[in-house]
Amino acid sequence: MTVSHSEGLAGASVRAAPSEAGEIAPLVQPWPRAGGIGATSLGPIISGDGVYVEDAQGRRLIDGPAGMWCVNVGHRNKALADALHDQAMQLTYTSPWYTSNNPAETLARALADRAPGDLKHVFFTTGGSSAVETALRLMQFYNNVRGRPEKKLIVSRHGGYHGSTYLSASLNGRPRVDDWMDSATGLTCKLSCPDPFRRPAGVSRDAFEDFLEAEFRELIEQKGAERIGAFIAEPVQASGGLLVPTEHYLERMRAVCSEHDILFIADEVVTAFGRLGHIFASRDVFRVQPDMITFAKGVTSGYFPLGGVMVSARIFEELRRSNHPDAMFLHGFTYSSHPIGCAVALRNLELLENGILDHVRSLSGYFQERMKTLAFLALVGDVRVCGLMAGVECVADRTSNNPLQLDLDVGKRIDRHCQELGLLVRPLINMCVISPPLVITKDQVDQLVEILHKGISLTMDDLVRERLWLGRSE
């Protein structure tokens, strides 16, 4: 029986453990391949402490991806564990349909105070996909109630990742991801990936930005503004390989949306709650005012599944003033406004605001400088850094930036070496993504970069030895 590492999202996991011949693996994990489905298991992580996790072989590893960009305050944080325990003992659950609860009310107010502009309302969900799904269904409801049911198309970008529910997954534009999966194609359309590293040869960054805006305008012209309901964008495309757009890209896309009454949804599932040094990054980092912001992950530092959508007061005012006051937004989850999740999120917010955000802002320059040193390695084509996250993209040939020969397992090869050396990496085809717990220290950044440097160097040696790659000059 063969055991495969699944790629991408699940790829950061530690080594796959072979099942005995004929044995089944009861636990099905995300992104299994058909050839190994139900027969593949991944090596478990046993414990965590601060920025470290320990695997079943007792290896202590720096948690390079902070779980899945989520364990922002680090593992084994007693304040969060206490908040979870105390709330479970106070009130475990209450129906969000018929009642409210104090942690959810308090958290909603706290987030409304911190969100940019008029994002004064929040609908809590169970994670990122359900947050995106909620934002999209709200857009549909909003346009139905306002008497323009044809204004529903959702525009996303290649390179984006928005989730695993049917509609949110239909927006994903990651290479190879949707090959075997159905999607709601009639409801969505995609624009080019705004990755400056992969812009056409000879095109300047400014000209690339002009092209991206023009492409959006062309799409609107072609489909008709009256048919387009929303544009959704991660401020930094995270799972696509940490793709940081050019300087004014997001502002320009926002302006196009405003001109055509298209809702701008910022998917901040990764960028909110400290990753870029702010609670929300849209305005504070990228100077854009979204109509909705989706969030999850870092809101509880991964200690409880929770997500949500911040919604503009204007949208709700328009709904309240519509001709259909009885129209019902038939949408909600059993675990919307979960009191335990909200209590954990409140304590998490306190931790972020009592030092962690400042720490991220003061450390990110150093993190960036250290990560950029990897660009000297011959296999590395690009190092992108934003706040406390980084993407290292490997290329076969730096002059053409061609990733093709190498792309299938270079990230995994690097991850394997790094795990031997004490670092968990998130491999992503020909890239490695790093987004450590935000409490990482300067020394730990040094340690992380040193290991990654060694891991990439060892991978270069392997590739040369296996005659898969020619160059090795630093």
* Residue 194 touches ligand PLP, criterion: CB under 6 A: no
Please choose, out of 263-271, 276-284, 382-390, 457-465, the segment that lies near ligand PLP by the rule CB under 6 A.
Answer: 263-271
111-150 positions binding ligand PLP, by CB under 6 A: 127-129, 132
CB of 434 to ligand PLP, least distance (A): 15
Q: Least CB distance from residue 258 to ligand PLP, whole Å?
A: 23
Contact 69, 238 (CB under 8 A): yes
Spell out a b/e string for 171-198, using b for 16 or more CB atoms within 10 Å of the CB, else e: bbbbeebeeeeeeeeebbbbbbbbbbbb
Cα 54 from chain centre: 24
- Tell me: does residue 390 bind ligand PLP (CB under 6 A): no
List the one residue out of 434, 134, 171 whose CA is nearest residue 307.
Answer: 134
Which residue of 67, 74, 163, 229 would you call a contact of ligand PLP, by CB under 6 A? 163
* List 5, 162, 347, 413, residue binding ligand PLP (CB under 6 A): 162
- In angstroms, the CA 76 to CA 62 distance is 14
Q: Where are the alpha helices (DSSP H) in 205-356?
A: 205-223, 249-259, 282-286, 313-320, 339-351
Q: 7, 55, 63, 234: which one contacts ligand PLP (CB under 6 A)? A: 234
DSSP 8-state class, residue 306? -
In whole angstroms, what separates CA 353 from the centre of its chain? 21
**Residue 18 or 30 with smaller CB distance to ligand PLP:** 30
Compute the distance between CA of residue 300 and CA of residue 376 in angstroms, rounded to an integer. 37
Which of residues 110, 193, 270, 293 is near ligand PLP by CB under 6 A?
A: 270
Helix pair 442-465, 410-421: axis angle to 10 deg: 130
Cβ distance to ligand PLP smaller for residue 14 or 309 = 309
- Which one of 36-44, 101-109, 158-166, 383-391 is the stretch in contact with ligand PLP (CB under 6 A)? 158-166
Answer yes or no whether residue 426 interacts with ligand PLP by CB under 6 A: no
Q: Measured at CB, which residue is nearest to ligand PLP? A: 128
From 112-120, 186-194, 255-263, 264-272, give the range in contact with ligand PLP by CB under 6 A: 264-272
Q: At its nearest, how many Å lie between ligand PLP and the CB of residue 373?
A: 27
User: Six-digit token pair at 420?
Assistant: 């031997």
Phi, psi of 308 (to 5 degrees): 180, 175
Which C-beta is closer to ligand PLP: that of 42 or that of 396? 42
Q: Alpha-carbon distance 157 to 234, whole Å? A: 9
Residue from 119, 155, 238, 463 touching ligand PLP (CB under 6 A): that is 238
Residue placing its CB nearer to ligand PLP in the complex, 130 or 419: 130
Nearer CB in complex with ligand PLP: 163/341: 163
Q: Quick one: 296 or 394, whose CB is closer to ligand PLP? A: 296
Q: Which stretch binds ligand PLP (CB under 6 A): 141-149, 232-240, 360-368, 452-460?
A: 232-240
Take residue 474 and report the two structure tokens written for it.
């630093």
Consecutive H or E run containing 110: helix 102-114
Q: How far is the CB of 164 from ligand PLP (least distance, A)?
A: 6
Q: How far, in Å, are 91, 95, 253, 254, 433 from residue 245 at the CA level?
A: 44, 41, 11, 14, 16
Closest approach, Cβ 167 to ligand PLP, in A, equals: 12
Interactions with ligand PLP, residue window 291-330 (CB under 6 A): 296
- Whole-number Å distance between alpha carbons of 110 and 105: 9
Name the minimum Å distance from CB 400 to ligand PLP.
29
Total of residues contacting ligand PLP (CB under 6 A): 16
336 binds ligand PLP (CB under 6 A): no
Nearer to ligand PLP (CB atom), residue 238 or residue 432: 238
For residue 199, what is the DSSP state? S
314 in helix, strand or coil? Answer: helix
Our CB check for ligand PLP shows the closer of 161 and 367 to be: 161
What three-state secondary structure class fits 7?
coil
**Which range touches ligand PLP (CB under 6 A), out of 103-111, 159-167, 423-431, 456-464?**
159-167
Task: Report the amino acid identity of residue 228.
Answer: I
For ligand PLP, the closer of residues 161 and 249 by Cβ is 161
Q: How many CB atoms lie under 10 A from the CB of residue 443?
A: 8
For ligand PLP, the closer of residues 171 and 395 by Cβ is 171
Single residue of 119, 219, 256, 269 touching ligand PLP by CB under 6 A:
269
Q: Give me 66's structure tokens.
A: 């902070």
What's the CA gap between 49 and 160, in Å, rounded?
31
Using CA atoms, how far apart are residues 91 and 292, in angstroms rounded to an integer? 30
Q: Would you tell me which residues interact with ligand PLP (CB under 6 A)?
A: 68, 127-129, 132, 161-164, 234, 238-239, 267, 269-270, 296
